[in-house]
C-alpha cells in the first residue's frame, strides 16, 4: 500500500496548510509528569532541530507543558521559523504550582492562554489551536468555542480545532464554525475512550465517521500507548518481517489506516525520534493491514 505523503489543514478554507503526514509531539520533552525542564536539555533542543532537518513540518505543543517549557524550547531551537512550519498548540487546561491539572476554559482564560502562547512562541498568529475539552467542566462548550472563533476573527488564530471531544461536542462544533482538525486519543492498541488518573480521555474511534464525512484531519495523541497486550503479538510479527520496531509498525499502521490521520509521536530520546520517522517509509501490504485489524 502506498500512503499519502501529505495532509492539508483547512483544505476548504482560504488559508490551507499542506504539510508532510508525520509530525512531532513535544509533550515528552518536559521533565517528569510533564513538569519542569527536560532531563537532558541539549538532547531536547537537538531533537527539535532534527525535526526541521528531517522535513517535519508540524509540531504539537501547549503552554501548560512544563509549563511554558516546550514553547520556550521550540523558540530557542527553531526561531526564526521556516515558512512551512506549522506550530499547533492547545488550550483549555492549566497547571497549578503543585503540578496539578486544572480546567482553564472560560473565555477570558482561553484568551490569556492564547496570548501566552503567542508570547512564548514569539509569533503573531498561531496557525492551529485545539480547544481541549476537560470533561466535568462548568463552562458551557459553546461559550469556550465561541471565544476561540472570536480570537480567530481577530487574527490571533488561523485555524481552530478541537481535542478530547465526543460525538455530541464535535457535531455542535461543526454547526458553530469551521473545524480544521480533531485531536483525540487513537492508536493500534487503544482506539476508544478510556479513563486515566480519574479523567476521561476521549478516543478517536467514536468520532471518526464524523471526521471522514467532513474530511477533517485527525491528529491522534497517545498513539503509542500500550494497553491491549494480546494485539501486541500481531505487531511483533509484522515488525519482525520488516526488521522494524513495534513503535515503527504502530506508526506505519496509523499512516495506512486512512489518509486523514496525521501521527505526532513524541519522545525525549533522539534515537527514538530517528526510529519513529523511519515509519514514514515502511510500506504495509493490504494483507498485513488486514492481519493487524
Considering the entire predicted model, what is its pTM? 0.95
Structure confidence at residue 93 (pLDDT): 96
C-alpha cell at 220: 491522534
Measured in Å, how far apart are the chain's first and last C-alpha atoms? 15
pLDDT at 258: 95
Element (H, E) at 239: helix 229-242
d(C-alpha 72, C-alpha 56), whole Å: 19
Cα 32 to Cα 239: distance, rounded to the nearest angstrom: 30
Residue 79 annotated to the active site = no
Q: Is the pLDDT of residue 231 over 80?
A: no
Q: Which residue of the set 24, 65, 104, 257 is catalytic? A: 65
pLDDT band at 222; cut points 50, 70, 90: confident
Q: Provide the mean pLDDT of the chain.
A: 94
State pLDDT tens for residues 249-259.
999 999 999 99
- Rounded Cα distance between 239 and 248, Å, is 8
Write down the CATH number for the domain with range 6-225+259-283: 3.20.20.100
Q: What angle do CA 249, 132, 178 make, to 5 degrees?
A: 95
Radius of gyration of the chain from Cα atoms? 18
pLDDT digits (tens, 9 = 90+) for 148-172: 999 999 999 999 999 999 999 999 9
- Whether the CB-CB separation of 231 and 187 falls below 8 Å is answered with no
What is the rounded average pLDDT of the residues 97-113? Answer: 95
Which pLDDT score, from 0 to 100, does residue 266 have?
95
Q: What does the pLDDT average to over 98-113?
A: 96
Q: Quote the pLDDT of residue 228.
A: 45
Q: Give the per-residue pLDDT at 198.
A: 74
Mean pLDDT calculated for residue range 8-25: 97
Non-local (6+) Cβ contacts of 6 within 8 A are 18, 19, 20, 21
pLDDT for res 170: 98
In DSSP notation, 105-130 reads: -SHHHHHHHHHHHHHHHT-SSEEEEE
Average pLDDT, stretch 47-54? Answer: 96
- The pLDDT of residue 227 is 44
Per-residue confidence band for 225, with pLDDT thresholds at 50, 70 and 90: low
- Res. 274: pLDDT tops 80: yes
Amino acid at each position: 500500500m502506498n500512503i499519502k505523503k501529505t495532509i492539508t489543514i483547512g483544505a476548504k478554507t482560504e488559508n490551507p496548510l499542506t504539510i508532510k503526514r508525520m509530525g512531532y509531539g513535544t509533550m515528552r520533552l518536559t521533565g517528569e509528569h510533564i513538569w519542569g525542564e527536560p532531563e537532558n536539555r541539549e538532547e531536547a533542543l537537538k531533537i527539535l532541530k532534527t525535526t526541521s532537518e528531517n522535513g517535519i513540518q508540524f509540531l504539537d505543543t501547549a503552554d501548560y507543558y512544563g509549563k511554558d517549557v516546550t514553547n520556550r524550547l521550540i523558540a530557542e531551537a527553531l526561531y526564526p521559523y521556516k515558512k512551512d512550519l506549522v506550530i499547533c498548540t492547545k488550550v483549555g487546561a492549566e497547571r497549578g504550582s503543585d503540578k496539578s491539572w486544572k480546567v482553564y476554559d472560560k473565555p477570558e482564560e482561553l484568551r490569556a492562554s492564547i496570548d501566552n502562547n503567542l508570547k512564548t512562541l514569539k509569533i503573531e498568529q498561531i496557525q492551529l489551536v485545539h480547544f481541549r475539552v476537560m470533561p466535568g467542566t462548568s463552562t458551557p462548550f459553546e461559550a469556550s468555542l465561541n471565544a476561540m472563533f472570536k480570537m480567530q476573527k481577530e487574527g490571533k488564530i488561523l485555524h481552530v480545532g478541537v481535542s478530547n471531544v465526543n460525538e455530541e461536542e464535535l457535531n455542535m462544533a461543526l454547526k458553530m464554525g469551521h473545524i480544521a482538525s480533531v485531536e483525540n486519543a487513537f492508536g493500534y492498541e487503544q482506539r476508544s475512550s478510556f479513563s486515566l488518573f480519574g479523567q476521561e480521555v476521549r478516543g478517536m474511534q467514536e468520532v471518526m465517521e464524523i471526521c471522514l464525512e467532513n474530511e477533517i484531519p485527525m491528529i491522534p495523541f497517545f498513539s503509542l500507548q500500550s494497553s491491549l497486550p494480546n494485539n501486541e503479538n500481531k505487531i511483533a510479527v509484522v515488525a519482525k518481517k520488516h526488521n522494524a520496531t513495534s513503535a515503527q509498525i504502530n506508526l506505519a499502521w496509523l499512516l495506512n489506516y486512512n489518509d486523514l490521520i496525521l501521527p505526532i509521536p513524541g519522545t525525549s530520546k533522539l534515537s527514538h525520534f530517528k526510529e519513529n520517522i523511519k515509519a514514514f517509509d515502511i510500506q504495509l501490504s493490504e494483507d498485513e493491514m488486514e492481519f493487524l485489524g
